[in-house]
Amino acid sequence: MSDIAANWRRSLLQETRCQTCSLSSLCLPLALQLEDMDQFDAIIRRRSPLKRGEVLFHQNDSFRSVYAVRSGSLKQTTTEGCGDEQLTNFYLPSELIGLDGIDEQAYMGTVVALETTTVCEIPFDRLDSLSENLPDLRAQLFRSMSKEIRDDRRMMRLLSRKTADQRLATFLTGLSDRFRRRGYSPFSFRLPMSRADIGNYLGLAVETVSRILSRFQQQGLISVSGREVNILNFDTLVEVAEQESCR
């Protein structure tokens, strides 16, 4: 029995190494040569899976690590002084969590698992030291930070200039692209988040989200069953998302 357990542990370790991870071409190791992969792999801590609703870290916790999503999904919420909670991000496999905590050395929001989720913890002090010796890793880290800044600015434009229909169409086409880059179907996928979460993220009432989804179905753009979404007319959905608003 002990041999079986030992073999299982060795198998699990092999499966969770960066070299054998199916997401390595999307994550930080994307920039690394095979001979450098072991150095990066050595600093990673593999955590036990998070259950749905379990917190990865809380807003204002001391910043120590960034996290790469291995499977599942999470959401980030921030609470302002008045107590209002704003959903600011969703994270899917291969995406990095916690980069916004580097400057103030504290996490900017609370991150919660939307479903059973596994993450790789990367202590930032060790990542920073390693990246000094691996320029390709540092460049990939900078690209990840740049993408986060770009996504934040895109979200600001989305909330300030677009109509409710445009916001939801942009959200759906954005999810489609994120699933496509991970090798999943860009046209048929399950929403890991609730409609209330989508509404909070887009600045819309949950009733508005449901009403627009129904309208998109009537227009033949999508079909929805619970959280299962099928995009039937992607090009037209993109046109709705990219319409110029006069607001």
* CATH classification of the domain holding 51: 2.60.120.10
Is residue 74 very low, low, confident or very high in pLDDT (cuts 50, 70, 90)? very high
Is residue 89 very low, low, confident or very high in pLDDT (cuts 50, 70, 90)? very high
Measured CA to CA, the distance from residue 160 to residue 12 in angstroms comes to: 46
Say yes or no: 98 and 216 in one domain: no
The domain boundary, picked from 84, 118, 146, lies at 146
* CATH classification of the domain holding 209: 1.10.10.10
Is residue 245 very low, low, confident or very high in pLDDT (cuts 50, 70, 90)? low
- Residue 65 in domain: yes
Angle ∠(100,105,108) on CA atoms, nearest 5: 40
pLDDT at 7 over 50: no
DSSP string, 68-130: EEEES-EEEEEE-TT--EEEEEEE-TT-EE-GGGTTTTB-SSEEEESSSBEEEEEEHHHHHHH
Say yes or no: 125 and 201 in one domain: no
- Residue 152 in domain: no
Say yes or no: 91 and 208 in one domain: no
CB 107 within 8 Å of CB 57: yes
Residues in the chain: 247
- Residue 247 in domain: no
Say yes or no: 62 and 119 in one domain: yes
- Residue 156 in domain: no
Say yes or no: 41 and 103 in one domain: yes
The domain total for the chain is 2
Say yes or no: 96 and 216 in one domain: no
- Residue range of the domain that includes 185: 162-242
Is 33 exposed, middle or buried (CB count within 10 Å of its CB: 0-12, 13-18, 19+)? exposed
Say yes or no: 101 and 208 in one domain: no
Measured CA to CA, the distance from residue 164 to residue 205 in angstroms comes to: 10
CB 141 within 8 Å of CB 127: yes
Say yes or no: 97 and 174 in one domain: no
Is residue 138 very low, low, confident or very high in pLDDT (cuts 50, 70, 90)? confident
pTM over 0.85: no
- Residue 78 in domain: yes
- Residue 155 in domain: no
Instruction: Give the end-to-end CA distance of the chain in Å, rounded to a whole number.
Output: 68
Say yes or no: 113 and 26 in one domain: yes
Measured CA to CA, the distance from residue 180 to residue 239 in angstroms comes to: 19
Q: What is the pLDDT of residues 173-232, one digit of tens each?
A: 999 999 998 888 999 999 999 999 999 999 999 999 999 999 999 999 999 999 999 999
Q: How many C-beta atoms lie closer than 10 Å to residue 103's C-beta?
A: 9
Say yes or no: 139 and 191 in one domain: no
The domain boundary, picked from 146, 181, 207, lies at 146
Angle ∠(34,43,105) on CA atoms, nearest 5: 125
